[in-house]
Amino acid sequence: MQQHMITRRQALAGIGSTLAALSLPDVVVAAGQVSSNAGPEDPLGKYPKPPFREQSQPWPGLASKMDPVPDHGEKSYKGSGRLAGRKALITGGDSGMGRAAAIAYAREGADVAINYLPAEEEDAKQVIALIREAGRKGVALPGDLREESFCKKLVADAVSALGGLDILVSNAARQQTKASILDLSTEDFDATMKTNIYAPFWLIKAAVPHLKPGSVIIGTSSEQAYDPSADLYDYAQTKAATTNFVKSLAKQLAPKGIRVNGVAPGPIWTPLQVSGGATMEKLKQFGGNTPMGRPGQPAELASIYVQLAAADASYATGQIYGSSGGAGQP
Ligand code: NAD
Ligand code: MG
């Protein structure tokens, strides 16, 4: 789904000088932007529907071990130079929405650093390889965001490896289902708050001094911010906090030319859900209660992360962009 019109110069820059001799229509088709026989694509039949096979993985889980394996746009995302020369740090960039954003950003011309937990090295390696295949710099920065000292080091390492920073995607999160507040330990509650609320605070605080006008911060919120599930007492309130800090920081940073926006996904097929984020009962029917009758795939949100980072969205700040198959209320 590429509605973005590109100029001939952008198209040529994006696909290299070997195609420079082709005529304009050839070039545009070659860049994957417009095809004369491209028609509408039915979103309902595009991806798997429930029921899904029973499955669970130890937290934090690996995308490559899910059945079906999620689609992060590995084979489908086509760039058009929308983020040429940009420098992005994405937390949780190994899998799920973060991986879809990392692939898309690299194919749009950005250098990308990803953070993830050491246990996710296998997923992360695949993402770094895809970034490099796109001809961009891919930087792997594993570590645990629950530590303030690591968050500071992560930003410093990303800035030095990329030669600056102008896109921060604060996307990592912890979600563990608990039927009752009585089952939720202080340690659990604390881990969710550290990952989902403190880490974005520490990361953004470390990043702001490096962000020049035109830079962006993107947070991943959730439909849980508006319509919390009974079994996600701790997680859901952190997503309300994310939505809220996006709106506060947008006001605070607009005078510096820095935009701050959020994405609010509905049920998306990612490792978070199969490693404690959902009950087995919910997982088997995952996404089935949305109007579309299926979960979303990370690839279906990639263009949103691109749009919020791109310079042509220059008047959008403090916005939350939903993608939830017809439910949710961003
Ligand atoms: P995911 O499991 O692919 O990504 C979450 C990532 O968070 C992991 O890959 C991991 O690298 C990272 N992470 C967790 N704890 C960490 C820690 N202590 N230190 C460093 N990294 C840590 O799942 P996802 O669904 O793509 O999640 C991405 C974002 O999307 C999250 O903010 C989540 O809340 C949000 N979200 C997901 C859904 C959904 O249905 N999957 C719905 C709404 C919102
Ligand atoms: Mg992961």
Q: Is the CB of 270 under 6 A from ligand 1?
A: yes
Q: Is the CB of 262 under 6 A from ligand 1?
A: no
Q: Which residue has the tokens 């029917």?
A: 285
E strand intervals along 54-122? 87-91, 111-115
Q: Is the CB of 273 under 6 A from ligand 1?
A: yes
Is residue 73 one of the residues assigned to a domain? yes
Residue nearest ligand 1's atom 33 by CA:
173
Give the count of beta carbons closer than 10 Å to the beta carbon of residue 122. 13
Q: Classify residue 202 as exposed, middle or buried by CB count within 10 Å of its CB (0-12, 13-18, 19+).
A: buried
The mean pLDDT value of the chain amounts to: 91
Give mean pLDDT, residues 221-233.
Answer: 97
Res 37: pLDDT:
61
Residue 46 has which token pair? 């595009």
Domain total for the chain? 1
Give the tens place of pLDDT for each residue, 67-109. 999 999 999 999 999 999 999 999 999 999 999 999 999 999 9
Res 22: pLDDT:
36
Is residue 79 one of the residues assigned to a domain? yes
d(CA 255, CA 261): 15
Q: Is the CB of 328 under 6 A from ligand 1?
A: no
Res 8: pLDDT:
37
Annotation marks residue 235 as catalytic: yes
Q: Kind and range of the H or E element at 167?
A: strand 167-170
Is residue 104 one of the residues assigned to a domain? yes
Atom index in ligand 1 nearest the CA of residue 298 equals: 26
Is residue 110 one of the residues assigned to a domain? yes
Amino acid at 214: G
Q: Which residues contact 185 (CB under 8 A, 6 or more apart)?
A: none
Q: Is the CB of 95 under 6 A from ligand 1?
A: yes
Task: Name the residue of 270, 285, 329 to mutate for ligand 1: max ligand atoms within 8 A of Cβ.
Answer: 270
d(CA 114, CA 102): 8
Is residue 282 one of the residues assigned to a domain? yes
Res 330: pLDDT:
59
Tell me the three state secondary structure of residue 89.
Answer: strand
Which sign does the torsion angle of CA 19, 25, 28, 30 carry? Answer: negative
Alpha-carbon distance values, 217 to 94, 193, 196, 212, 263 (Å): 19, 20, 15, 12, 11
Q: Is the CB of 174 under 6 A from ligand 1?
A: yes
Give the tens place of pLDDT for each residue, 16-62. 333 333 333 333 333 334 445 679 999 999 999 999 999 999 999 99
| Active-site entry in 235, 305, 315, 321 | 235
Q: Residue 206 is part of a domain; what is its CATH number? A: 3.40.50.720
Phi, psi dihedral angles at 322 (to 5 degrees): -85, 155
d(CA 164, CA 291): 42
Residue 219, domain extent: 55-323
Q: Which residue has the tokens 């429930």?
A: 50
Phi, psi dihedral angles at 89 (to 5 degrees): -115, 125
**Angle between helix 186-193 and helix 233-253 axes, rounded to 10 deg:** 30
Asked which of 18-27, 117-126, 151-160, 178-187 is least confident by mean pLDDT, the reply is 18-27
Atom index in ligand 1 nearest the CA of residue 145 equals: 19
Is residue 31 one of the residues assigned to a domain? no
Give the tens place of pLDDT for each residue, 116-137. 999 999 999 999 999 999 999 9
Residue nearest ligand 1's atom 39 by CA:
268
Residue 176 has which token pair? 């563990």
Q: Which of 170, 203, 159, 158 is nearest to 91 (CA)?
A: 170
> Phi-psi bin for 84: left (phi > 0), alpha (psi -120 to 50), beta?
beta
Is residue 13 one of the residues assigned to a domain? no
d(CA 1, CA 38): 10
33 alpha carbon to ligand 2 midpoint, in Å? 30
pLDDT of residue 263 exceeding 50, the answer is: yes
